Amino acid sequence: MNFRNAAIWLVIVAVLVGMFVVNQTSRTQAGGEISYSQLLRKVDAGEIKSADIAGQIVQAKDGSGNVLTVNAPNNPDELVNRLVARGADVKFKGGGVSLLAILVNLLPIILVIGVWVFFMRQMQGG
């Protein structure tokens, strides 16, 4: 195997490892993930002091500073009403798409096209 082929395979392996690391990092950033019903119980008990809502992701902070992450329904009106009734600070954040998310979603497609082009060029070589 010549240097060019080894370099291509090295790049492919590096991209796959990079995708795995990004995927694992985004999962571990979720922190203390709890269910929606558990969050509602904590809100009713007055344990939640603030909440940041970005789309369907709710990050609630309790009195001891722990951040709890929850996937909420599309319309979190009931949750917002309960939080406001208990005196919690509620913030809404825009759910914009980051450049990293776009790249992670496009990377497999680009990788497949790259492998396809590589094999086509190898077939022409004889």
pLDDT in tens, 62-118: 888 888 888 888 888 888 999 999 889 999 887 666 777 788 888 889 989 999 988
Distance CA 45, CA 114 (A): 55
pTM above 0.85, yes or no: no
Give pLDDT tens digits for 25-40: 655 454 578 888 898 8
Query: For residue 87, is it left (φ>0), alpha (ψ between -120 and 50) or beta?
Result: left
Residue 1 binned pLDDT confidence (cut-offs 50, 70, 90): low
Question: Bridge partners of 69?
Answer: 33, 59
pLDDT computed for residue 30 by the predictor: 47
Distance CA 64, CA 71 (A): 21
User: In a 3-state reduction of DSSP, which class is residue 7?
Assistant: helix
**What is the sign of the dihedral through the CA atoms of 103, 58, 52 and 65?**
negative
pLDDT computed for residue 26 by the predictor: 58
pLDDT computed for residue 34 by the predictor: 87
pLDDT computed for residue 91 by the predictor: 92
Tokens of 103: 């790249």
